[in-house]
Amino acid sequence: MQLKIVSDFNRILDFQPCRPWPKSLPSIAANGILIAGFQRLPSDTVLDHGKLSSDLFTALFHELHSNLTLPEMSRLSETLKKNNLIQLKDDFLKISGFQPGPNLNSILESLRDVPLELQHWLSEKKMGPQEILPLLNVTPSQAAQILSACRAHRDSRNEASQRMELISDLTLMKYELTDILTQTLATLKSLRYPITSSRDNSLKAKELPWPAKLRAQPKRQGDHSGFDIHFFANSPLELNKLSDQLKKVADAWNSSLDQV
Amino acid sequence: MEFQPRSSLIASFDRVYIDEVARDSEVAQRVLDLFPKEKIEFVSQEPWSEAKRGYLSASEFERSKKNLFITPFKGQFFKRCPGSSQSKVLNCCNYHVLNLGSQCNMNCSYCYLQSYLNSPIMKIFSNLNSAIDELREMTNLHAHLPFRVGTGEVIDSLSLDEITLYSRKLISFFREFPKWTLEFKTKSDRVDQFLDLGPSPNTVVSWSLNCEEMITAEEHGTASLENRLLAAEKCLKAGFSVAFHIDPMIWHPEWKANYAKLVDTIQARFRPDDINVISLGTLRFQPEQRHLMKQRFGMSSHVTRAEMFPSESDKLRYDASLRHEMFRFVYNKFKSQSENWRIFLCMETPETWVTALDAQPSKKEELRELFRPLPKV
């Protein structure tokens, strides 16, 4: 290991990592490549690890930049390409927990076109490849609009993942993107699943003789729709009473099914 | 047997790779006879295998359908049906599978191989004799039990059989064990290569059927409904058993009329006694494959547009009440003509059995044997 200065290196892997390199630490280099501490002056100090084997180089990079997100990996891929180091990409992907392959390559390429502030938002949400896959079915400009909508709706990771897929599907189903970007998740679901939504709504519309002390909410759980029922009983007697009343609800529900 | 495959089948492959270690196998010799020399290459490792990866991309999946690899299988051929691993949530019908290859030369939009396969090439396993040795071990132990063994789990049983002629060896083997049943499952109409071996009542040649509209829209490259039924009639006439799998039923606006027409067609051409069993299933697939399906078939397909939800077995399925309605409709349509049709639901929950068909399979006399637990293998 020896100390050098930034201007000694003409290969710099500045992929704009989300976490800034601590100012108190020198830049780091190995194999003639600056791999951490990028935004420094040409005369700033660099700790150069010299010549490392490919495995050690990858491991060092991973220690300096652990838990890279997909947008970071996308920027890193681009930087590797520009520095004629693309052969390192798969090793970096693997050590960062991603599975190299054509699907991941397509995702990384599609992220390249996403504005940086949206890339940072995706990084914050720690979105994975499976969640971003639906965006491959729309154009880069549509993908950016969908991501903007997710951010504008202040979606959680789970909500954003649902919104991306629903809007991508609806776009492929010829809905106007501008008409659906502002819709709530509930509206998007009713557009994407019209038949099921109508069935669920008919359940909501059922007037069943629920006991006053009981709260019943129509609810979808996976491939089933039904009622989510909450009640409080303070004695066996009251529980028996509620159970009798529930039998009446079941009968009424059953006869409403027969009418369908 | 001198049997020439269709030239269109040979032409459908870009290239055939033969594993050096399979060079002397019967199937490799047959491939050498059938394919033009310029399409054949001997290799010492699986093509495109250098990068081990997860799911195939759309282009890799398409490519895997056009390239064939003749190689020995190194694992266990004889297995229980994947449905049995979920017997806590699904009713299990004791089906066993014998995989003699993987991937399919047809192209159904809903095909579960899209989430199952991670090999970038279609394979035919060259060591059929090892598979038969495995079978023999099992038959020696359980010759008296009614094992059902299907070869159509990860490859269509018959669409490449004109190349392999594996059906002939299997039919002959199963003859020795009349309690055991061999089932070929296909969407092709390729049966002429083994008809001369009939009668063979413990060989069930079965067809996945769908209404003509869904065959046209979703089952690309498969035989038409008419050709599948004609092939079924040929098999019956030659003394083979025949079964139908109306699976997957796919919801579309005219589903009732179209599936009613399918049932009418079956009933007009076959009697309940002709058909060993009819299984019903509705569309289902692993959640992971939905993206690949959209990339490959867009959103105009009834399959990619389908309203699917996570189910107990983790697969995506239609809403349970819609499934029950579809099952009840087709089941009642068969049973209203004759109670003697033997019908069961494939990979469904006990709840669906009770809601759609009023009883668990164990309570249905005609199905009891099918669902009786067998020794685990």
DSSP string across B294-336 = HHHHTTSSTTTTS--EE-TTSSEE--HHHHHHHHHHHHHHHHH
How close B265 comes to chain A (CA, Å)? 29
- pLDDT given at position B373: 67
- Nearest C-alpha in B relative to A175: B299
How close B64 comes to chain A (CA, Å)? 14
Taking CA atoms, B309 is separated from A233, B18, B288, in Å, by: 34, 42, 13
CB–CB of B250/B303 below 8 Å? Answer: yes
Cβ–Cβ below 8 Å for A173 and B312: no
Phi, psi of A214, deg, nearest 5: -120, 145
| Residue entry with tokens 């032409």 | B11
ipTM of model: 0.85
| Residue entry with tokens 């040979």 | B10
Phi, psi of B101, deg, nearest 5: 175, 180
Distance CA A230, CA A244 (A): 16
Q: Given CB atoms, is B319 within the 8 Å cutoff of chain A?
A: yes
For residue B114, the chain A residues in CB contact (below 8 A) are none
Distance CA B213, CA B147 (A): 35
For residue B60, the chain A residues in CB contact (below 8 A) are 102
How many C-beta atoms surround the C-beta of residue A89 within 10 A? 17
Q: Given CB atoms, is B196 within the 8 Å cutoff of chain A?
A: no
CB–CB of B216/B190 below 8 Å? Answer: no
Q: Tokens in use for A250?
A: 């079941």
Q: How confident is the model at residue B344 (pLDDT cuts 50, 70, 90)?
A: confident
Q: How confident is the model at residue B276 (pLDDT cuts 50, 70, 90)?
A: very high
How close B350 comes to chain A (CA, Å)? 14
* DSSP codes, B332-369: HHHHHH-TT--EEESS--HHHHHHHHSS-GGG-GGGHH
Range with lowest mean pLDDT among A8-17, B141-150, B214-223, B230-239: B141-150
How close B109 comes to chain A (CA, Å)? 16
Best residue in B307, B315, B347, B351 for a mutation probing chain A (most A CBs within 10 Å):
B307
Residue B86 has pLDDT above 90, yes or no: no
For residue A106, the chain B residues in CB contact (below 8 A) are 57
- pLDDT given at position B153: 86
Taking residues B142-151, what's their average pLDDT? Answer: 90
Cβ–Cβ below 8 Å for B57 and A106: yes
Picking from B213, B216, B210, the residue whose alpha carbon sits closest to that of residue B228 is: B210
Q: Given CB atoms, is B295 within the 8 Å cutoff of chain A?
A: yes
Q: Tokens in use for B300?
A: 């105009």
B70 strand-pairing partners: B18, B124
- Nearest C-alpha in B relative to A169: B299
Q: Given CB atoms, is B366 within the 8 Å cutoff of chain A?
A: no
Residues 6+ apart with CB under 8 A from B107: B65, B220, B221
Terminal Cα distance for chain B, rounded: 34
- Nearest C-alpha in A relative to B302: A173
- pLDDT given at position B377: 61
- pLDDT given at position B51: 62
- Identity of the residue in A100, A169, A222 whose CB atom sits nearest the CB atom of B51: A100
Picking from A240, A181, A102, A221, the residue whose alpha carbon sits closest to that of residue B63 is: A102
> pLDDT for B26-70, tens place per residue?
999 999 999 999 999 999 999 998 765 677 889 999 999 999 999
- Identity of the residue in B295, B299, B318 whose CB atom sits nearest the CB atom of A223: B318
Picking from B166, B152, B68, the residue whose alpha carbon sits closest to that of residue B108 is: B152
Cβ–Cβ below 8 Å for A193 and B323: no
**Residue contacts between A and B (CB atoms, under 8 Å):** 65
Alpha-carbon dihedral sign for residues A173, A179, A181, A187: negative
Which residues of A have a CB under 8 Å from any CB of B?
90, 99-103, 106, 130, 133-134, 136-137, 169, 172-173, 192-196, 199, 220, 222-225
SS3 B260: helix
For residue B307, the chain A residues in CB contact (below 8 A) are 192-196
Q: Are strands B122-125 and B67-71 parallel, antiparallel or unpaired?
A: parallel
CB–CB of B208/B248 below 8 Å? Answer: no
* DSSP codes, A153-205: TT--HHHHHHHHHHHHHHHHTT--HHHHTTS-HHHHHHHHSHHHHHHHHHHHH
| Residue entry with tokens 């491991």 | A59
- pLDDT given at position B374: 67
Distance CA A157, CA A151 (A): 10
Cβ–Cβ below 8 Å for B311 and A101: no
Number of H helices, E strands in chain A: 12, 7
For residue A195, the chain B residues in CB contact (below 8 A) are 251, 307, 322
Per-residue pLDDT of chain A (260 residues; tens, 9 = 90+): 899 999 999 999 999 999 989 999 999 999 999 999 998 999 999 999 999 999 999 999 999 999 899 999 999 999 999 999 998 899 999 999 998 888 899 999 999 989 999 999 999 999 999 999 999 999 999 999 999 999 999 999 999 999 999 999 999 999 999 999 999 999 999 999 999 999 888 887 778 889 888 889 889 999 999 999 999 999 999 999 999 999 999 999 888 876 54
Cβ–Cβ below 8 Å for A100 and B319: no
